[in-house]
Amino acid sequence: MRTTLLTLLVILAACSPSTPIIPTSQPIPSPIPSSTLKPIIPTLAVTSTATPLTCLTLPGRVEEGAIDSFKPPQQYRIYLPPCYDENKDRHYPVLYLLHGQTYNDDQWIRLGAVTAMDQLITSGESQPFIVVFPDDRYWNLPAGPGFGDRLVSALIPYIDSMYRTIPDRQHRAIGGMSRGAGWSLRLGLTHWDMFGIIGLHSLAVLQKDASDVSKWINKIPPSSRPQIFMDIGDRDTELLMAEQIETLLTDYEIPHEWHLYSGDHTEYYWEAHTEEYIRWYAAQWTSQ
């Protein structure tokens, strides 16, 4: 009897659970997947600022275009700065850079202008601006309006209508090397209402223009005289004429910088100074 009772107690103890049973009406919650433990708010904050932060670290881009109504068409390349597409409400200063004789609209790009602009803008040293590289490869062809007429009467209005420029003289500059500098001198002074900044790099004065410079300057109101940068190599064949133009600027008290460097009339000289040129143009707007 005692043995039977003891056996029964052992059997009941073995069948009893060691932990209480949870009622089925209170199910055990499943563990939260680890992927949902990532903070949601910080993720949204990063997403909202990713686009401007990303585009500011990327280079600008160069596009090609043409005004086909001219024969031959007036071609150009244009540099659009970082974040141009993202900042759709922003308008930009614009610089027209003219190439030398026998070259075309890629000369400034080959010599490092775009690289210099990207570095200045992405580093925050310069505010963004647009640069147009007009093509003058047909300089020796008589067909159609001359390059100067095309530039001021057609290309500039076209650029202002198609791109987000600031269309006034304080925010429009023109500069060039060699023959391009000759055009910049002529157009910058005769259309002073369009250009407030002029760059003359290894100036090659266009035929018969030297005798007209004084007349052009006299027609510019004192309050509208442009800012001018001049440089040339000490072995440049155009040095004598460039010095005469610089003397006129001094005599008429036109604000300008004059730099005489070692070098001659070659792409090697211009490439060595391209970053300096771009920095000067950029500084005209950064200081405003």
DSSP-assigned states of every residue in 214-237: HHHHHTS-GGGPPEEEEEEETT-T
Per-residue pLDDT for 50 more than 60?
Answer: no
| pLDDT attached to residue 138 | 78
Per-residue pLDDT for 278 more than 60?
Answer: yes
d(C-alpha 260, C-alpha 249), whole Å = 15
Instruction: Produce one character per residue of 222-245: b if its CB has 16 or more CB atoms within 10 Å, e if not.
Output: eeebbbbbbbbbeebebbebbeeb
Least confident range from 24-33, 208-217, 276-285: namely: 24-33
Least confident range from 23-32, 61-70, 87-96, 206-215: namely: 23-32
| pLDDT attached to residue 207 | 87
| pLDDT attached to residue 276 | 98
> Which of 15-24, 46-55, 204-213 has the highest mean predicted lDDT (pLDDT)?
204-213
Angle at 274 between CA 272 and CA 156, to 5 degrees: 155
Tokens representing residue 15 in the block: 């069948």
| pLDDT attached to residue 167 | 97
Reported pTM:
0.81
Domain 63-286: give its CATH superfamily.
Alpha/Beta hydrolase fold, catalytic domain (3.40.50.1820)
> At 23, is the secondary structure helix, strand, or coil?
coil
Q: Is the dihedral angle over the CA atoms 109, 114, 115, 116 positive or is it negative?
A: positive
| pLDDT attached to residue 116 | 98
Tokens representing residue 147 in the block: 């390059």
Confidence grade of residue 52 (pLDDT, cut at 50, 70, 90): low
Confidence grade of residue 223 (pLDDT, cut at 50, 70, 90): very high
| pLDDT attached to residue 130 | 98
Per-residue pLDDT for 268 more than 90?
Answer: yes
Residue 158: Cβ within 10 Å count: 17
Mean pLDDT of 7-13: 41
Per-residue pLDDT for 22 more than 50?
Answer: no
| pLDDT attached to residue 29 | 39
Confidence grade of residue 142 (pLDDT, cut at 50, 70, 90): low
Residue 265 is classified by DSSP as: S
pLDDT cut 70: percent of the chain above it: 78
Confidence grade of residue 9 (pLDDT, cut at 50, 70, 90): very low
